Amino acid sequence: MKKLIKTGISAIAITVAFFAAASATEGVKIEHLGINNTLVRVTPDSRYLLLPVQESNDDARINVLVDGNVTRTIYVRLAKTKVDYYVPFDLAPYKDRNLSMIVTTSQDRASVREAKDDACWTNIKTSDTFDTTNREKYRPAYHHTPLYGWMNDPNGMVYKDGVWHLNYQYNPYGSKWQNMTWGHSTSTDLVHWEHHPATIEPNGLGSVFSGSSAVDLTGSAGFGKNAIVAMYTSAGETQQQSLAWSDDNGMTYHIYPGNPVLTLDSEARDPNMFWDAANNRWVLTLAHALEHEMLFFTSPDMKEWTLQSSFGKGIGAQGGVWECPDLFELTVDGTGEKKWVLLCNLNPGSIFGGSATQYFVGDFDGKKFTADTDSDGNIPTKWLDFGKDHYATVSWSDAPDNRRTAIGWMSNWQYAAEVPTMQFRSANTLPREIGLFKAADGQIYASSTPSPELIALRDRLVAKKDGFNIGTKPRQINLPSANDGICEILVNLSAGKADSINLVLGNAKGEHVTLTYNAESKTLSFDRRESGITDFSQDFPAVTAAPTFDTDGKLSLRIFIDRSSIELFEANGKFAMTNLVFPTIPYSTLSISADGGKARIDRAAIYSIAAE
């Protein structure tokens, strides 16, 4: 991971007196005002105030006062009995200002004397540096993650002048959900990511929830031609839609002073917009979350919006709130037919429990989306990924060559806050190209293939075995040992007379993942119940399964193994499956066997991946 800022830790002299001011470290003065109320005075001569966090604690509310006025409020799980890690509060904007913090906790205390013994007061400190060197065994080697803190939905994704901008839901003050902000990373190749300061932060309208960005080629919004305009949900007492714009190619944003630009009398969020050139206006898809539907608006300038239609009530998976929409047009592979795809992320209520991305294929006339039906006249529920850990999928706007490149959050709300990492939580999936194909049942489905840039991940061909038969006795191939066994596996299967083919990724401790291709049902299952650490949530041990859409008993797979995830794709993208795994030692072998008869492996190749 790219290291941007480091931490130096100095000795701390501490003296604390009951009902008196205390110096926790140079530049910090603590005054206990009551059992749950503390004043922290900060001299902002250093770059950071390092706040000590204990994840098992409840959030403390911190009102930040500048020259006596509250300028922002943050929530931090301040340490009570131990320090799990630190988070930095940037002091640079407060140079030469009077800075203090009113800290309100919810701890049960009998007296101020007891309250002042909390670990946070003896460990809070100032520093000119903050160490982001990775401390996590399970941090992915080649998936995007935040340097520190919590991340969930990808947001505001836009391509401009050779740069892929990835904003994301971010908590800079802890590794659990809170303080929603737009974090920001960029890439020129979808493989290597550079981290930048947050682009949009909470203000008086509330936290910054999900949204989208687009290049305003005509300057219709009034912020200038080719400005990047973001639309996002301001989440305070209610959910409202707000605008921001960037005139420096997405590196910083200005908040539109006329916000909010769209309000409703019910919960609605995650605006996703695009320019409708045919009608010379913007189209907005908005999740009417609790109503389990999507709303469609149009606008000439992104500021005045007209509701045109809705879609979704009683359709598709309805077991949870609808969130994070995306709407785009694609050509069906091998035909000239064009269809629209509507992504509707759902939580909970997915096919395997918790959160996932469902989608609908149909037509959009600029105002109304009409979904295709099956042979029985019903609108089928379709899933973009058949794993447990693929959510909030949205695509980049303005991608080159008419590409529809998407990325998702690689976790599940059932256990996202409990996975065995602490410096950071959550990664993004690999970037994927979304397409359309027509299956044997006559239905049109979305395909997902790894973005072509990902070929650059391959380092060395470490194993290649072609054209061999398999039976009940497993055939074993060693995985690379370098970089914790991260690799890409290519395998082409021919079921022959076998009922099923088993691919087992395992290690010396007996931890394993089993992939089973069932030739009769034409499904591929993924069993992670014995994959390693699974006991942090009852919902984590699971078996997921995908339809393979094959018709001849043949299946070609691309499998990406990282330190805490496995992403599996049918070679042409007809299905994808994303699942987290936490083996205590890396998987070291691939064992292949068949049940019910002989099968054949037409190709097996393994590429190592060089970690940075």
Active site positions, annotated: 153
How far is it, in rounded angstroms, from Cα 606 to Cα 154? Answer: 30
Torsion on CA atoms 285, 288, 289, 291, rounded to nearest 10:
-140
How far is it, in rounded angstroms, from Cα 444 to Cα 430? Answer: 24
DSSP 326-359: EEEEEEBTTSS-EEEEEEEEEES--TTSS-EEEE
Instruction: Give the angle 535-536-539 at the CA atoms, nearest 5°.
Output: 80
Cis check: omega of the bond before 260, within 30 degrees of 0: yes
* 8 A C-beta contact, residue 488 and residue 591: no
Label residues 486-502 b or e (16+ Cβ within 10 Å = b): bbbbbbbbbbbebebbb
Q: Phi/psi class of residue 349: alpha, beta or left (left: φ > 0; alpha: ψ in -120 to 50)?
A: left
Nearest to 245 by CA among 310, 302, 184, 318: 302
Q: Is the dihedral of CA 495, 496, 498, 504 positive or negative?
A: negative
How far is it, in rounded angstroms, from Cα 536 to Cα 417? Answer: 10
**Residue carrying the six token digits 């060693």:** 478
* 8 A C-beta contact, residue 411 and residue 382: no
3-class SS of residue 113: helix
Q: Which amino acid is at 358?
A: Q
How far is it, in rounded angstroms, from Cα 33 to Cα 76? Answer: 19
Strand-strand pairing, 239-246 and 163-171: unpaired
DSSP 499-558: SEEEEEEE-TTS-EEEEEEETTTTEEEEE-TTSS--TT-TTSS-EEEEE---SSSEEEEE
3-class SS of residue 591: strand
3-class SS of residue 584: coil
Q: Is the dihedral of CA 205, 209, 211, 213 positive or negative?
A: positive
**Alpha helix positions (H), 286-434:** none
